[in-house]
Amino acid sequence: MPETPDHSNAREEFTNIRVTGARGSGAGRWFTGSKEIINYKVISHFKQHLFRDEKGIYIYQTFRQFSEKGYITVEGPLLAVFRIDREKITFDSLDEIATATAEVVINTGDEAAYVYYPRLGCYAVVAASVSPDFSAFLKEEGDVFLFCDRPLRRLHITNWTQPPTIEI
């Protein structure tokens, strides 16, 4: 996993950008104030420039000689699984993790599977377009689901940017 660059000299702003919660069709939508950001290129740009520090998750931007950290509010899954194969899981931020060691959980809030992305300390939804490929790595043994032959934990995710501590 790449090392986080030093952004300590960047100007800090707490933005009104938020990513919506995980329930229903509104999950993972990006807003600035009450206005939805609908330009997928803007959202893609934001996702590819996400970082985390002790204050939270932020979008890092540079403007000529200036740099800025814009902290965002995360109410639901921040990223989505874009592609999966035997070797790696690719997120829509274009970051990747190894498939064999990925932590996949079932959220008891909506009974959906989510993939933990350790660099940002957040969970990613499995996009519907990836579900057939993703399910090839899932097995059911009794009432336990396995991903790459490892049991999935059932968790209640209440904070989408922290590893959950409550196991159900």
- Bridge partners (DSSP) of residue 67 are 62
pLDDT at 3: 63
pLDDT of residue 149: 93
The residue among 78, 83, 88 whose CA lies nearest residue 129 is 83
At residue 148, the 3 state secondary structure works out as: coil
Residues 6-41 pLDDT 10s: 888 888 888 999 998 866 556 789 999 999 999 999
Residues 86 and 92 sit within 8 Å (Cβ to Cβ): no
**What are 85's two structure tokens?**
């194969």
How far from 54 is each of 121, 136, 162, CA to CA, in Å?
11, 37, 12
Confidence of residue 102 (pLDDT cuts 50, 70, 90): very high
Query: Does domain 11-74 match CATH 2.40.70?
Result: no
Question: Is residue 164 pLDDT above 90, yes or no?
Answer: no
The C-alpha atoms of residue 59 and residue 47 are separated, in whole angstroms, by 8
> Across residues 137-150, what is the average pLDDT?
93
* Sequence ranges of the domains in the chain: 11-74, 79-155
pLDDT band at 42 (very low <50, low <70, confident <90, very high): very high
pTM summary value: 0.86
